Amino acid sequence: MAPSSKRRKREEYRKTHKDSANTELPKKKFYRQRAHANPFSDHQLTYPASPAQMDWSSYYPSFVDPNAKNNSEGQSKPLRKPVTIADIGCGFGGLLVALSPLLPEELILGLEIRTQVTEYVQDRISALRSQHTSSPTLSTQRTPKKPVPIPPLATSEPNNTKDYVIYPKDGHNEPQLAATEAYIHRITNVDNIMPYRDVENALLQWSMHLTEAQLEELRRLDGIIEIQENVQAWKPCRHLEIASMPPSTHLELITGVEIVDSSNMALVPGSYQNISVLRANTMKFLPNFFTRGQLSTIFLCFPDPHFKARKHKARIVSSTLCAEYAYVMKPGGCVYTITDVEELGEWMRERFETFGKGEGGGGGGGGAGLFERVEIPEEGKEGVWETRDAEEGRVGRLVRCIREETEEGKKVTRNGGTKFVSVWRRREDPAWPDED
8 Å CB contact between 396 and 384: yes
113 annotated to bind ligand: yes
Helix (H) or strand (E) holding 336: strand 329-339
> How far is the C-alpha of 344 from the C-alpha of 340, rounded, in Å?
8
User: For this structure, is 123 an active site residue?
Assistant: no
DSSP of 205-248: EEEEEE-HHHHHHHGGGTTTEEEEE--S-----S--B-EE--GG
Q: Which of 123, 304, 389, 436 is catalytic?
A: 304
89 annotated to bind ligand: yes
> How far is the C-alpha of 97 from the C-alpha of 124, rounded, in Å?
9
The tally of CA atoms less than 13 A away on the side-chain side of residue 208 is 23
8 Å CB contact between 41 and 244: no
CA 334 to chain CA centroid, nearest Å: 15
Cβ burial of 213 (10 Å; 0-12, 13-18, 19+) is exposed
Backbone Cα Rg of the chain: 24
301 annotated to bind ligand: yes
> How far is the C-alpha of 326 from the C-alpha of 319, rounded, in Å?
11
Report phi then psi at 411, rounded to 5.
-65, -40
11 annotated to bind ligand: no
Q: What is the dihedral of CA 317, 414, 100, 271, to 10 degrees?
A: 150
143 annotated to bind ligand: no
What 3-state class would DSSP assign to 390? helix
Cβ burial of 13 (10 Å; 0-12, 13-18, 19+) is middle
Q: Cβ–Cβ contacts within 10 Å for residue 161, how many?
A: 16
46 annotated to bind ligand: no
406 annotated to bind ligand: yes
Q: Which residue ranges make up the annotated binding site for S-adenosyl-L-methionine? A: 89, 112-113, 281-282, 301, 406-408
Active site residues: 304
Q: Which residue ranges make up the annotated binding site? A: 89, 112-113, 281-282, 301, 406-408
